[in-house]
Every structure is written in C-alpha cells, then in structure tokens.
Amino acid sequence: MRRMIALGSAVVLMMSLAACGSSQNTASGSSKVIRLTMWQQWGGGHEQAALNKIIAEYEKIHPNVHITEIPVTNDAKILTAISGGTPPDIIDLGTSLELGQWASKGALMPLSSLAQRSHLNTGLYVPAGLKAVTYQGKLYGLPFMNFDAGLLYNKQLFLAAGLNPNNPPITTQQLQADAYKLTKVAANGSITQMGFLPQYPGQSNGQVTTLEDLGWVFGGHWYQNGHVTANNPNNVKALEWEASFYQKYGAQNVANFLHSAGAYLTSNDLFESGKLAMVYDGPWALDYAEANVPSLANNIGVAPFPAPASQPNLLGTTFIDTNPQVIPTGAAHPNAAFQFIKWETTNALVTSTFAALVYNLPQLKNVPNFSLANDPRFKVFMQEANSANAHVWPQLPVSTEYGIKLDEGQDAVLYGKTSAIQALNQLQTTMSAALKASN
Amino acid sequence: MDRKGKGFTLLFLSPWLVGFLGFMLLPLLMALYWSFTNFDVLQAPQWVGLQNYVAIMHDATFWTAVRNTLYITVIGVPAGIIVGLGTAMLLEKPITGMGFYRAAIYLPAIVPPVAIAIIWLWILNPDYGLLNAILSVAHIKPLGWLADPYLAKISMLMMVVWGGTGQIMIIMLAGLKDVPMELYEAAMIDGAGWWKKFSRITLPMLGPVIFYNVVVGVIFYLQFFTQAFVVTANNLGAPVNSTLFYALYLYQNAFQFLKMGYAAAMAWILFIVIVTITLALFWINRKVVFYGGGQS
C-alpha cells in the first residue's frame, strides 16, 4: 500500500510536469468532451495534489478529455458501484490484493485487447509489477508506483547494543542473534525495546501478512502449478522461526509490545520512536522518518532482508506490489480511460516525479533523471525489485480469503494456540477446498 | 374513518411506508432469496438450495463467532443494566452539581461509536495507556487488553458499557421517578431496610424499564459491530479471532470473501435467532414482570 508524503517536492513536480506533455502530439480528433471519473486510493494531501497536476497535464494535451478524481478507499463501495452498474471509468486500487478475486468475478475489464489495439509495449514495465496486475495470463490493470520492502535498522540502537552499525545481518540466524541483543525486558517481564518484531508493521505496509514474506525468505511458496502450497515445508520453517521470537519473550509480552505501537509512520510508531531496532519495511519509511524524526533519519541503515545461512541466494527476498490502474466492468468510456492510464503509467517524467514524491519505485524499467536513483539506500529497494527474489502474492479467485486465513493461522501459532505444521496443514485443506469451489 | 381520511393517512405515512418497503422489506426478502444462492454481488446468483446453511453449520469459524457473540451478550446486557441502574440511583438523590454529573455520564452517549473506539484504543494501550497507568499504582503488571485473547472481549465490553451507560441511566432515572413515594413510606414504617426496599419495591416497580433495556441490549449485542470493526480494522477479529463477532464475520464473508449468499444466510439465521429470543423475552416478561397500571 502506498504510504507517502510529499516534502515540498510538489513545486518541483508542478514545474517538471509542465514539460511532460509538450513533446506529445495532440491526437484528439473529436471535439466532444469526454468526462472521466477516477477513484483513487492515495487519499488527500500531497498525493492528491500531485495526481491533479498529472491530470491537468493530460487534459492540456487532450483538451476533449476531462478527468475528475475522487478519493475512495472503501472496497465495499467500489463493489457496490460495479455491481450497481455505475462504476467510475478508472480505479487506482492501491494494492493488487483483490485484483485476482475481482477479475475472476468479472468486476474488472480485461485490458489485453485494448493494449494490443493501442500498441502498448508491456516490455516497458518492471516484470514484477506487471505480474501483480495479471490474472490467468490476462492483463487486468496497468502498474503504477511499485513498492517492496527491505531491512531498515536503527544505527544508534546498534551502537548502543555493541553491534557494528555498518554490518547489518545477512542471515536469518544473525538477524535473530542481533535482535536478541537489541531487546530489553523490564523487571516485570514487559518488553521496552525489541530488536526485531516479525509482525510489525505487517499488513500496514502492503504485505498480505508477515508470514507471506517469511515463507519466501525461507524458500517456500504459496501457490504453484495450479495448487495451493500453504504447508510447504519451508513455509512451516518460516512460521516456526517467526514463532521463536514469541516463545523467547512470552507470546503475550510480545503481543503487548506490538499493541503499544502508535499509528504507523508517525513518531509514535515502534521504529520511529526508537523502540524497535530492525524492521521489514519499504522506502517510504525513510521519507516519513525524515519528516517526523529528523535525528533518526540519517541513522537508518538499509540492507537486503537476510536469508537462511543455507540459502544465501535468497538474500534480499521481498514482496512486490503496485497500485493497479484498472477499468471496472461497465465503465462508460473504457477507451478514453485506457488512453489515460497508458499515458500515466508509461510516461517517464510522470513516473519519476511521482515516485520521488511518494518514495515509491518506478513501475518503468527505464526512468532517466530519477532523483532517487542514486540514493544508496533507495537503490537497495530498486535492486530488490528487479531480482528473482521479488515475489507477488498469487492472483487467485480466493486471494483475499487466502491472505486473511493465512494471517489467522499465523496469529494462532504466535499466540501458542497451535503448532506451525498444524496451522498450515489446516490452511492447506481450507484453501484447497475454497479454490476448488471457486472454479 | 372516511375514504378521504384514509387517503390522508396513507399520504402522511408514505415517507415511512416507502422507506420501509423499499429499504427494509425488499432487501430483507432479497437477502432471503440470496441466502439460497451462490452469489458474489458481481455475477448473477445461482440457486444452490440449502447449501449455504449446511456449510455454515460446518464452519468452525462461524461457531467461534457465535460463542464470542453470546459471551458479550450474556455479560454485556446485565453489566450495562447494573451500571446504568447504579448510576441512576446515585444521581436520583438531590445533591449539589447533580445536573453536571448527569450530563457528564450521559456525554459518551452522544459521542460516535467510532470516536469512542479510538479513544479507548489509547486508554487500553499496554504501554502508554491510562488504564495500565492507574493499575500500576496498585503494582499490577501492565496488561495487554486488546492484545490479549482473554482480555480483548472484556476490553470491548468496557468500551460499550461506558458508551451506553448514559442512555440506560436516563431511562432508569425516569423509571425511578415513577415509583410512588407512598410505597417507600409504607415500607419504612414497617421497618424495611435499604435492601428490602430495593428488592421489594424499586426492582419490581422498574420491571418494565429493565425489561425494555434487556430487549434492546440483547438485540444490540447480537448485532455488535462498530467498535470491534474499528479496533481490529487491519485484521478483523484479532487477536486469534477472540473478537470475531457474528456481524463482523458476516461482513467479512460478504465484502472480503465475496460470499454474499453465505452472508445473507448468516443474516437470516441471526434474524430468526433475534426474533425468537425477543419473543421468548416477551413471554418471560408476561410471567415475571410486574406492571403497576395493569398490563394492556
């Protein structure tokens, strides 16, 4: 999920966007004004302002198109509009989590033929982002602003614990050992500082749940060759590793610590408040820290997320997702809508300015003059995005249910209610049946 | 009533009638139909007979949700009435600043439930929270409240009871005012103590008021949704499904899993259960509750 803030770069965006369209030809023959509605999940604030700049620029080169954007973040509302036959022309979904499920029910328009007709070169996009908008081989959206995650660590806390701040862990074993050194427990058993807390920030940063990623980190997978693979032995290992943090300090103590967190990406969240030394999070966290806690911002190190010592090739494993720009079934002007999302997602200048503004990854392979491209910390996320270790949550008719049940199973194990193998075996049974029933 | 009178009656009733027929009865009947179908909102429903109902009976999560809901209903309804009646009795006596106290206790009733949930998230914060700060004075170890599967339901109840006390108190106060003073005077002359007066006069005379609150409370708790939805927005029912209440699970099926037929079946089961319980309460009411002016 895109979590960003603009830090005065709005002006830069405004100026640079003015240059975007100037080279494009005004290929709009008809004089009739087409009114498009776009529902977007960026919310208000700077992201909305930036989006409006993009829209204004598009309208300038396409005078017969008028686009109105409205922040709509409620899935139920979107579904109601689609089923009621009055959807907007474009939806920015914010995450691809529901894309497969919605596509399977016919809620989204397949874009393959539109793409072909308007000669869209999908080779321009970073493959992982493209994968996130593809369901059963068909394109159901265009990627915009990709996001992934890596290991962010607080160098001050590393120093205080006697660890080398320039030597972040590269194996999961080292990560755990470092994490234990970085954890402080009060006399009454309550935790005051943790080295690493697997569940934090969890879904808040766009993951399905932490276990999704840890499964991949340990070499597992969740869906393969048409089958649910929830109880893959490596997924079990990942869940056991995750649970070991809870067993060491007492599940309830860890849960209490987790629940003491203030809102994510504020100075009260666990990482920004200096109560958590290492976190699995995305590049936008750097931007927010800069705004909220400047003293911390320069002391955040970024590294690829560690891998098990036995599988060093899995270093830098991450989930990757995008903000799918989709056209819902029943949209009034699908052609005009497609022209806009094609322009929006393939224009390098729009991409580089918006990505720099919200600290997300460009969905395009080639983005000249991207101001963050040379930032050594940001680069870690860019490199991860293009590696074989960047994974997309499977796009299935039951994707959402799978994610929610995975989270429930993980919860039950972390709280010590059941074992990893039992929970994942049960998930395997439930989701295999659900997938079968949905076909 | 003549013909013209009937016409006017219907005319003036029409806003309600149209609303009831269009937005209550029709959806209710549509939901009944959908409950026998495989329906995902987006595609045409397919008739599957009783399949949804059968699946619900075999759904372990459904039963977890039922248990959670019964738990808060059985505790929440009496707790709300006891606290509401207690405050009403305290605030019945003429004391200085009574108006202020009554207003202060009623205040939460006008705060939107979402705001209440957000405030309580902070009160119940294991680290910075007010409640743990107070408990620490008594050297009680910080509790997890919403992070603890055992305490999470209690935490929800605290939120709801706190928010609902004002409403119940006002009704109870009105009821207390209606108890004839002669009864207390007669009892005093007969040498009745506080408990005798309370149990033999106040409670029986408040019977109808308490009954009303029981019915309203039961219906409210069986449909309990808002606070739980706000508090566990990111993963409904957390921790470990301990706050997955019936309406929450219904919502999850409808809008997250897109199993609208299944959710419609759940809604109808809930509807029938609520009607049955309410009828049972009315039956008990006829047997037990004393109506001073005779029962109409």
pLDDT tens-digit profile of B224-237?
A: 999 999 998 878 99
Minimum Cα–Cα distance from B237: chain A residue: A408
| Contact between A83 and B235 using a beta-carbon 8 Å cutoff | no
Q: Counting one residue from A and one from B, how many pairs have CB atoms under 8 Å apart?
A: 87
Reading the block at residue B109, the tokens are 């009733």
Instruction: Confirm if A205 and A1 have CB atoms less than 8 A apart.
Output: yes
pLDDT < 50 regions, chain A: 1-29
Give the closest residue to A193 by CA, choosing from A127, A253, A130: A253
Summarize pLDDT for B183-226 with one digit per residue, the tens: 999 999 999 888 999 999 999 999 999 999 999 999 999 999 99
CA distance A143 to A370: 18
Amino acid at A285: A
pLDDT at A154: 97
Pick from B142, B148, B235: CB nearest A407: B235
User: In this predicted structure, what is the pLDDT of residue A1?
Assistant: 42
- ω into residue B15 within 30 of 0, thus cis? no
Q: Could you give the percent of chain A with pLDDT greater than 90?
A: 83
Q: Which chain B residues contact residue A427 at CB under 8 A?
A: none
Scan residues 143-182 of A and list those with Cβ closer than 8 Å to B. Answer: none
CB A208 within 8 A of CB A403: yes
Helices vs. strands in chain A: H and E counts, helices first: 18, 16
Calpha distance A348→A214 (Å, rounded) = 33
In chain A, ranges of CATH 3.40.190.10 domains = 10-146+322-365, 149-319+395-438
A291–B contact, CB cutoff 8 A:
no
Q: How far, in whole angstroms, is CA A343 from its chain's centroid? A: 22
As beta bridge partners, residue A434 has: none
CB A360 within 8 A of CB A322: no
Interface test with B, best of A207, A256, A410 (most B CBs within 10 A): A256
pLDDT on residue B1: 56
Q: Structure tokens of B152?
A: 């999470």
Whole-number Cα distances in Å, B11 to A381, B1, B5, B6, B23: 66, 14, 10, 9, 18
CB A309 within 8 A of CB A172: yes
CB contact under 8 A, B126 and A259: yes
Chain B residues in contact with A258 (beta carbon < 8 A) = 147
H-type alpha helices, A224-372: 233-249, 251-259, 284-292, 294-297, 334-346, 348-358
Nearest Cβ partner for B42 among A106, A257, A260: A106
Decide if B147 and A259 are in contact by the 8 Å CB cutoff.
Answer: yes
Question: Which amino acid is residue B296, in one-letter code?
Answer: S
Report the residue of chain B nearest A255, measured CA to CA. Answer: B147
Please check whether the domain covering A149-319+395-438 is classified as CATH 3.30.70.100: no
Q: For strand A325-326 and strand A90-92, is the pairing parallel, antiparallel, or unpaired?
A: antiparallel
Q: Are strands A65-71 and A34-40 parallel, antiparallel or unpaired?
A: parallel
Alpha helices in A150-232 (DSSP H): 155-160, 172-181, 210-217
Please give the Cα distance from A391 to A216 (Å, whole number): 8
Measured between alpha carbons, how far is A437 from A104 in angstroms, rounded to an integer? 13
Residue B7 phi, psi (nearest 5): -60, -45
* Contact of B160 with B150, CB cutoff 8 Å: no
Candidates A138, A132, A68; CA nearest to A98 is A132
**Which of B81, B82, B57, B248 minimizes the C-alpha distance to B153?**
B248
pLDDT of res. B294: 55
CATH of A10-146+322-365, one of 3.40.50.300, 3.30.420.40, 3.40.190.10, 3.30.360.10: 3.40.190.10
> Minimal Cα–Cα distance from B13 to chain A, Å?
29
Domains located in chain B, CATH noted: 59-288 (1.10.3720.10)
Tell me if chain A has a CB within 8 Å of the CB of B144: yes
Tell whether B127 is within 8 A of chain A (Cβ): yes
From first to last of its 296 residues, chain B has per-residue pLDDT tens of 567 788 899 899 999 999 999 999 999 999 999 999 999 988 899 999 999 999 999 999 999 999 999 999 999 999 999 999 999 999 988 888 888 999 999 999 899 989 999 899 999 998 889 999 999 899 888 899 999 999 999 999 999 999 999 999 999 999 999 999 999 999 999 998 889 999 999 999 999 999 999 999 999 999 999 999 999 887 899 899 999 999 999 999 999 999 999 999 999 999 999 999 999 999 999 988 878 665 44
Cα–Cα–Cα angle for A407, A413, A419, nearest 5°? 130
Q: Is B59 on the interface with A (CB under 8 A)?
A: no
**Cβ of B139 under 8 Å from any chain A Cβ?**
no
The residue to which tokens 């470092």 are assigned: A178
Nearest to A75 by CA among A328, A315, A272, A285: A328
Share of chain A above pLDDT 70, in %: 93
Structure tokens at B98: 């009574």
- Determine the angle formed by the axes of helices A348-358 and A334-346, rounding to 10 degrees: 70
Instruction: State how far the alpha carbon of B66 is from the alpha carbons of A104, A399, B34, B35, B233, in Å.
Output: 31, 26, 22, 18, 20
* Alpha carbon of residue B201 to chain centroid: 27
Please tell me the predicted confidence (pLDDT) of residue A11: 37
Helices (H), A110-250: 112-117, 127-132, 155-160, 172-181, 210-217, 233-249
